[in-house]
A and B are shown apart, each in its own frame.
Chain A
Amino acid sequence: MAIIERPSTEIAVAGGATVGVKPSEALGVFKRPAASNSWRDWIVTVDHKKLGIMYGVAAFAFFIIGGVEALLIRLQLMGPDGKVLSADQYNQMFTMHATTMVFLFVMPMVSAFANYFIPLQIGARDVAFPRINAFGFWCWLFGGIFLNTSWFLGGAADGGWFMYAPNSSTLFSPSHGVDFWVLGLQITGIASLTGAINLIVTVLNMRAPGMKLMRMPIFTWMALVVQFLLLFAMPVITVALFLLSFQRTFDATFFDVAAGADPLLWQHLFWIFGHPEVYILILPSFGIVSEVIPVFSKKPLFGYPIVAMSGAAIGFVGWGVWAHHMFASGLGPVSVAVFSMATMAIAVPTGVKIVNWVMTMWGGKLKFSVAMLFAIGLVVQFTIGGLSGVTHSVAPSDTQQTDTYYIVAHFHYVLFGGAIFGLFAGFYYWWPKMFRKQLNEGLGQWNFWLMVIGMNMTFGPMHILGLQGQPRRMGVWTEARAGEGFFNIGFWNMIASIGSLILAVGVLLFIINIVYTHKSKRVPIAPLDPWDARSLEWMTSSPPAEHNFDAIPAINHLDEFFHRKYAEDPTTHEIKQVATAEEVLADMNAHPDEHIHMPSRSYWPILVALALPIICYGLIYNRLLMAVGAAFLLLTMFGWAMEPSTAPDDDFDPPAPSEGGGHTKELAPLG
């Protein structure tokens, strides 16, 4: 499946070593799996692009699940005295909707893009730790499935996505739902942590020659900031989840008020994680639109260093604002004032970004492709959500808004209108890179406009509902108390529910678009550089071969690809195209690197990850099962550590290097 260097079996290194030790036999218990074209290859792959696609597909499946949960919530609230869900089911529904969207859709979808594009954007052949990367994916997937099995095992978690103590104790939530939630998030947390370590090391350590930090594409920059946020935020939620699960499973007293505990501890720990988490969700989308807007404006990004540094600034200040989620909890005037100010301050670097995007478009030759529309959609809707966010920094006003639909409106504008629109911009922008086909622009327009209309109809009225006092997690409202005239909450709830259906149709069109693009024979193969793009990921074949680049490019500019295609005329000072993408690629590949070696596939990532849900089921149901899972974990970790460093010889084709070169061969294009 790749250009793979045949392992030399006759190395005689310094020290007078014996010869003839084959790498696949020298170490380990089992052979590494060989390359193949069957589905098995996806199970054992360590290729960052395949893992990226797997993250994307699985995350989108969870997006549908989370979306159906949201629709059920909206159906319940559509009319007075909703009977779609019982109170208990309603609690589970909003808890799992939020948990799914945050942990099982946006975060892994970001991982999908980051996995796929970070190595391409920095000119690397792979990530730093390919097996750990694969482990992270399986870990997240099993964690997500584990979490969702709670639906069939006595009910899902029902404490809201922030699971405030003491409401999350066994007294108030006696089903196993919260246990599933806690353990499921622990497993996905491991995935986030390993992913963060992997990508941080990749970006810091594996850049192509000349790829300085300030030449990295903004998406890579934002993803790097996000990985640091994950690195430092995940352990905090890990601690909080441990405390909660020790309380529920072993009767510890951490949040037991009768024992003198302070349940606010949970809120602090959760939001110290939770606020950086908000930026974990949004910054990658900022990165994506920072790629998309310059390309479709035919201009370089306005103020590149400012955009990069404001992203980093958001990452820093994001650690100092967590208590604005807790203004209503009685923190005291000093804390409230400090966190109020910090919250206002963090709006500044965000506003800076908005200005930069607008200035990038200003005077540009705008091309309103679907990717560009989604990017502009983000700029507009995130600004609305950001403004309502600034109103929350005013503590007296926030105290009124806490736990009302105003909050729901705010974070859906920033997360749906922001983060998810950014991801959709990424889908349309990068689809031809990943799959050689361009998504249909006509269907895409419908997709975009239905989503914009649906999203504003759904979440816009929630501002009014919230200011009218509709509580955030109210499962039923009655006509008698719905209010009069313009502020009748029945009317606005109806509008919101209709909007959610329009939104669902919009998303459905995206799926139809995918099916159409890949099933219809009329859709041609996309050109190499369909958008006249600027960054390195476009400077290779589509989709890239397993080793990404035949020759690792030397980087001399920010927007390297653009600079290879265009040059300034020395006399007229006009920017002129000097090469097509195909010519750039041919020029680059004229001297392909020899001795490319890619990591071999491995069984162990999926096996190690499989041990974790077994342990967690054991923790809930049966300690013996837990012991079995733990033993399985130890054995698989041993197998991992002892795994041979390369695949057996039959993975290498041709079987033996012929004389005079022949060290590399491409087996089959990545399909």
Chain B
Amino acid sequence: MADTVVAHGADHGAHHTTTGLSNNKLGMWVFLGSECLLFGGLISTYMLYRGRANAGPQPDQIYDIPFTSVSSFVLLMSSLTMVLAVSAANRKDDRNTNLWLTVTAVLGATFVGGQVYEFTAFYREGLGFTTSLFGSSFYTLTGFHGVHVTVGIIMLMALVGMVRRNRIPGSKAETVELVGLYWHFVDIIWIVIFTLVYLIPS
């Protein structure tokens, strides 16, 4: 088991803390608080510019709501599988932890793939990054979200590798849970983006 390597190292997470939350978990929550403002700024920029397309297609001309709904559904389902992975990790069930982490990563990758497809389709329909304010702000906002999902996928795959090699020091379940927090955050942000960007007509 990975527990063998636990010496008295930099693993402060296992120590008693004032709040009772481990440093790592509190740090992740604090970081996510900061991320809210990052997306807040990007979403505000998009909302300001959403109707402004002097050139190129307008939003309602190119959005493919059914397609994006399906990829949103895929992303939301990945939150469910993430919960299952955290639950399995808490039970110290390596096999199922790995299974659900992998499924989560695949679902996330499907979403990113859908986004790449969508960007390509929009570009073909004449909406480039520099075409209009709508184009610039749309690609920036959804692009930032896509990068966040991609980073999440990398973290999930790293977790899979680490669980497989028993390489997660300290509390394994908590490391999975931290990635889970990040993953759920990215999903929640997508709910906001999907509603504001796609569903509410400009």
A5-13, A378-386, A524-532, A610-618 - the one binding chain B = A5-13
- Is B42 an interface position by the 8 A CB rule? yes
Given contacts A128-B27, A246-B140, A254-B136, contact A5 B8 (CB under 8 A): yes
Instruction: Decide if B10 touches A645 in the complex (CB within 8 Å).
Output: yes
Q: How large is the interface on A (under 10, 10 to 19, 20 to 34, 35 or more residues)?
A: 35 or more
- B200: chain A residues at CB < 8 Å are none
Other than the given A23-B7, A599-B9, A645-B11, 5 more pairs (CB < 8 A) read: A9-B7, A232-B33, A234-B34, A235-B41, A254-B137
Instruction: Decide if B42 touches A251 in the complex (CB within 8 Å).
Output: no
Of B9, B12, B48, the residue contacting A600 (CB under 8 A) is: B9
Given contacts A8-B7, A11-B7, contact A206 B136 (CB under 8 A): no
B16-24, B72-80, B99-107, B190-198 - the one binding chain A = B16-24
CA distance A549 to B34 in the complex (A): 33
- A246: chain B residues at CB < 8 Å are 136, 140
Instruction: Decide if A259 touches B18 in the complex (CB within 8 Å).
Output: no
- Is A347 an interface position by the 8 A CB rule? no
**A95 vs chain B, min Cβ distance (A):** 23
Instruction: Decide if A13 touches B41 in the complex (CB within 8 Å).
Output: no
Instruction: Decide if A204 touches B19 in the complex (CB within 8 Å).
Output: yes
Of B8, B17, B37, the residue contacting A7 (CB under 8 A) is: B8
**A78 vs chain B, min Cβ distance (A):** 42
- A residues near B, CB below 8 A? 5, 7-9, 11, 13-15, 17-19, 21, 23, 26-27, 126, 128-131, 193, 196-198, 200-201, 204-207, 211, 231-236, 238-240, 242-243, 246-247, 250-254, 256, 259-262, 265, 269, 272, 595, 597, 599-600, 641, 644-646
Given contacts A27-B167, A251-B130, contact A265 B48 (CB under 8 A): yes
Instruction: Decide if A646 touches B41 in the complex (CB within 8 Å).
Output: no
- A5: chain B residues at CB < 8 Å are 8
Instruction: Decide if A259 touches B23 in the complex (CB within 8 Å).
Output: no
Of B23, B33, B136, the residue contacting A252 (CB under 8 A) is: B136
Chain B positions 1-48 with a Cβ under 8 Å from a chain A Cβ: 1, 3-12, 17-19, 21, 23, 26-27, 30-31, 33-35, 37-38, 40-42, 44-45, 48
- Is B132 an interface position by the 8 A CB rule? yes
Instruction: Decide if B17 touches A205 in the complex (CB within 8 Å).
Output: yes
Given contacts A231-B30, A254-B133, contact A21 B5 (CB under 8 A): yes
Which secondary structure dominates chain B's binding surface? helix
CA distance A641 to B162 in the complex (A): 11
Instruction: Decide if A7 touches B137 in the complex (CB within 8 Å).
Output: no
Instruction: Decide if B9 touches A7 in the complex (CB within 8 Å).
Output: yes
- B136: chain A residues at CB < 8 Å are 246-247, 252-254
- Is B148 an interface position by the 8 A CB rule? no
- Is B184 an interface position by the 8 A CB rule? no
Chain B positions 163-200 with a Cβ under 8 Å from a chain A Cβ: 167, 169
- B9: chain A residues at CB < 8 Å are 7, 23, 597, 599-600, 644-646
- B130: chain A residues at CB < 8 Å are 250-253
Of A26, A130, A256, A600, the residue contacting B5 (CB under 8 A) is: A26
- B17: chain A residues at CB < 8 Å are 205-206
CA distance A286 to B58 in the complex (A): 51
17 contacts between A and B (CB under 8 A): A11-B4, A11-B6, A13-B4, A21-B4, A128-B27, A201-B26, A205-B17, A205-B26, A232-B34, A243-B140, A250-B129, A251-B129, A254-B49, A254-B133, A254-B136, A259-B52, A645-B9
